[in-house]
Amino acid sequence: MRHTEVTGHFWRQNGRYEKTMIRERIERLREKMRESGITVYVIPTSDCHESEYVCAHYRAREYMSGFTGSAGTLVITLEEAGLWTDGRYFIQAKQQLKGTSIKLFCLGETGVPEVEDYVKQKLSAGGKLGFDGKVMGAFRAETLLKAAEEKKAACTGKEDLVGEIWEDRPEIPDSEILILDACYSGEDTESKLYRVRKEMKTAGADIHVLASLCDIAWLLNVRGGDIPCVPVILSFLCVAEESCVWYVRESIVTEELRQYLSRYNVEIRGYEEIYQDLQKLPDGCRVLLDKKNINDCLLKSIPKGAEITERRNPTELMKAVKNKTETANLRTAHLKEGIAFTRLMYWLKTRAGKEKLTELSVAARLDRYRQEQEHYLGQSFAPICAYGANGAIVHYSPTEQSSVKIAQKGFLLVDAGGHYLEGTTDTTRTFVMGEVKEEQKRMFTAVCRGNLNLAFARFLYGCSGYSLDILCREPLWQAGADYKHGTGHGVGYLLNVHEGPNAFRWKLSEKDKPAVLEAGMVTTDEPGFYAEGEYGIRIENELLCVKGEQNTYGQFMEFEILTLVPVDLDGILPQEMTETEKIRLNSYHEKVYQALAPHLREDERAWLKLYTRKI
């Protein structure tokens, strides 16, 4: 498990790197830029698969900037450097970039240019734009190339300059592969390939190129460990009508895996061979792919004589809609996670002030409770365990150096999740550790009200998460407040904790295509409030979309709350809630008690009865 430093003093990964080291690396990169004639160099946060999280080998942006967040783009010119990231990381990035000479650009803020606009400003006629095309998404590469053409500058996507200066670069790990039995997947690979090929036929495609790791893992019913906390295997997949080729490192292929895949006529080839194989496609071959999910070099490997059909990967929607086996398993996974989280809450409430508690010890205690559950495989992301002011850093993760002691006052925000054979979980609770101000309770109650409003929504089929986001934000907007992140994201089944296409958010960009909320989709419901330098609040449940009543107006939809963890009533001001909101909270707490009580000790059960009481 990799923990990331967020104090802004220095960052660590396999050692100690001072801010001066970051400045030295940038200067060494500029030397390489001058040698190649490059005047602007762009470093994304990705691997060869447009993954959200990447293994240590691909953390080039982190290596060059010291910023450890999961989203960001670094642009280096011969005179200056800038890093772009979103609202989840503004506070963290500001701290981590201090003293590096890198300027922070807060995406979405007034007056802040997009990366492409900045690149265009810095390029001049005769200049040269550079990037590593294997880790640059095809969609972004096209916009960067357009910017270079408009400025009459050259552009190259074949320059891994960071790799040339990165000494002791970590190797790509060889992880063990798990073949997922039908009792967990609910559908075999033959059936999934049949559905994909049916979509290919509809699209008129001869071959489908897949680089998205979660889609490949879902389709083949395999899981791995090439990325920390994300059980996937670095690989590519090409599906044709009569054949299927999986491009993967031979070092991790076992005889059992080879025999398993042979049942479905899946051939195994070397990881890098896909680039050469695509170059051999005949003229007129119709290729189905999603430019948002493949790298630039992969796209450029396809001959100009081939016909590209660009659309969303069929597997994206297929895996987002969980089948009956998966939804039944997910209820089991959330019961296990609920037991672990609730035991943690009991421990916090009864041990605070009696023993030393720190952010790290709390995170370790939660994972210990998970390990007591059957079929627990590991954390689904590095836990966010943030006390006091650290809670305002949306994706804070404690380390040995940053972990603080927890006192009997204020808020402790814990956002954590686990992988079980029965599925993936993602839960956030904010615990009242002692004395808090009335205003803090008022904001806690507003966050809780928003969470409940969304969880108990009823809506007609056809709505997307953009239609419903206001239900969650309304109590905060009424208080003149907001949170700078989406309200919710899809969650994979023993896969990436952030899964599309479903989501709850209110901002819709031109390139966004809102996904209709389908029965079987699982989406988080996680409003928050963050007072920089003071505290943070977030309450997160996972919601399973299900069918409700159907009448003359159409098919109504609603949500089943999968998460089973009490909301801390010590932070609630009942007078701030409507009667309907109180009924909703009481109903949820009754469900939590009925589900968890049989699995707890007598003292824990008595405590849970108190913390799920009616208000």
The average pLDDT across 545-549 equals 98
Please return the burial class of 16, using the count of CB atoms within 10 Å of its CB with bins 0-12, 13-18 and 19+: exposed
User: End-to-end alpha-carbon separation of the chain, Å?
Assistant: 40
Note whether 68 and 122 are same-domain residues: yes
The partner residues of 561 in beta bridges, in order of sequence, read 543
**Which tokens is 42 given?**
């762009």
Looking at the predicted structure, is the pLDDT value of residue 486 above 50?
Answer: yes
| Neighbouring C-beta atoms of residue 471, cutoff 10 Å | 21
| Neighbouring C-beta atoms of residue 167, cutoff 10 Å | 4
Q: From residue 221, how far is each of 23, 181, 230, 235, 551 by CA, in Å?
A: 44, 8, 14, 14, 38
Note whether 564 and 451 are same-domain residues: yes
Q: pLDDT tens-digit profile of 271-327?
A: 999 999 999 999 999 999 999 999 999 999 999 999 999 999 999 999 999 999 999
CA 340 – CA 351 distance, rounded (Å): 16
Q: pLDDT tens-digit profile of 233-276?
A: 999 999 999 999 999 999 999 999 999 999 999 999 999 999 99
Note whether 115 and 226 are same-domain residues: no
pLDDT reported for residue 355: 87
B/e letters for 361-382, b = 16+ CB within 10 Å, e = fewer, are bbbebbbebbeebeebbebbbb
Looking at the predicted structure, is the pLDDT value of residue 5 above 60?
Answer: no
What HEC string does 151-197 produce? CCCEEECECCHHHHHCCCCCCCCCCCCEECCHHHHCCCHHHHHHHHH
Note whether 378 and 517 are same-domain residues: yes
Q: What DSSP designation does 137 have?
A: B
For residues 10 and 22, which has the higher predicted lDDT (pLDDT)? 22
| Nearest residue to 66 via CA among 140, 125, 4, 131 | 4
Note whether 153 and 184 are same-domain residues: no
Q: What is the CATH number of the domain that holds 568?
A: 3.90.230.10
Helix axis angle for 138-150 and 115-122, nearest 10°, is 30
- Residue 511: pLDDT band (50, 70, 90) is low
**Which tokens is 25 given?**
């690396």
The overall average pLDDT reported for the chain is: 94
Note whether 155 and 191 are same-domain residues: no
Looking at the predicted structure, is the pLDDT value of residue 8 above 90?
Answer: no
CA 526 – CA 538 distance, rounded (Å): 6
Residue 601, in any domain of the structure: yes
Note whether 539 and 488 are same-domain residues: yes
CA 413 – CA 391 distance, rounded (Å): 6
CA 570 – CA 560 distance, rounded (Å): 25
The average pLDDT across 119-141 equals 95
Q: Tokens 């495609």: give the residue.
A: 205
Note whether 296 and 277 are same-domain residues: yes
Is beta strand 235-240 parallel, antiparallel or unpaired with respect to 266-269?
Answer: unpaired
Residue 171, in any domain of the structure: no
Q: pLDDT tens-digit profile of 178-202?
A: 999 999 999 999 999 999 999 999 9
CA 558 – CA 543 distance, rounded (Å): 9
Q: Using an 8 Å Cβ cutoff, are 176 and 224 in contact?
A: yes
- Residue 524: pLDDT band (50, 70, 90) is very high
The average pLDDT across 481-508 equals 95
Total domains in the fold of the chain: 3
CA 383 – CA 386 distance, rounded (Å): 9
Is beta strand 528-531 parallel, antiparallel or unpaired with respect to 488-490?
Answer: unpaired
State which of 292, 312, 332 marks the end of a domain: 312
| Distance of alpha carbon 297 from the chain centroid | 24
Residue 5, in any domain of the structure: no
| Nearest residue to 536 via CA among 600, 447, 598, 453 | 447
Q: What is the CATH number of the domain that holds 282?
A: 3.40.350.10
In the chain, the largest separation of any two C-alpha atoms, in whole Å, equals 75
Q: From residue 312, how far is each of 19, 92, 231, 307, 374 by CA, in Å?
A: 41, 33, 22, 16, 36
The partner residues of 74 in beta bridges, in order of sequence, read 43, 83
Query: CA angle, 316 as apex, 313 and 319 as ends, to 5°?
Result: 140
| Nearest residue to 12 via CA among 387, 378, 397 | 397
Note whether 473 and 567 are same-domain residues: yes
- Residue 353: pLDDT band (50, 70, 90) is confident
pTM, to two decimals? 0.92
CA 318 – CA 167 distance, rounded (Å): 42
State which of 252, 280, 312 marks the end of a domain: 312
| DSSP states of 353-370 | TTB--BHHHHHHHHHHHH
pLDDT reported for residue 88: 85
Note whether 348 and 475 are same-domain residues: yes
Classified as helix, coil or strand, 494 is coil
pLDDT reported for residue 510: 64
Residue 170, in any domain of the structure: no
Looking at the predicted structure, is the pLDDT value of residue 15 above 60?
Answer: no
Residue 565, in any domain of the structure: yes
What HEC string does 295-321 produce? EHHHHHHCCCCCEEEECCCHHHHHHHC
The average pLDDT across 88-97 equals 90
Q: Which domain holds residue 419?
A: 321-611
CA dihedral sign of residues 209, 214, 215, 221 = positive
Looking at the predicted structure, is the pLDDT value of residue 419 above 60?
Answer: yes
Note whether 391 and 499 are same-domain residues: yes
| Nearest residue to 486 via CA among 537, 523, 458, 459 | 523
Residue 203, in any domain of the structure: yes
- φ, ψ for residue 130, nearest 5 deg: -135, 150
The average pLDDT across 449-471 equals 97
| Nearest residue to 467 via CA among 434, 508, 430, 527 | 508
Residue 4, in any domain of the structure: no
Looking at the predicted structure, is the pLDDT value of residue 115 above 90?
Answer: yes
State which of 312, 337, 360 marks the end of a domain: 312
Note whether 488 and 600 are same-domain residues: yes
Residue 464, in any domain of the structure: yes
CA 161 – CA 64 distance, rounded (Å): 11
The average pLDDT across 43-53 equals 95
Q: Using an 8 Å Cβ cutoff, are 378 and 229 in contact?
A: yes
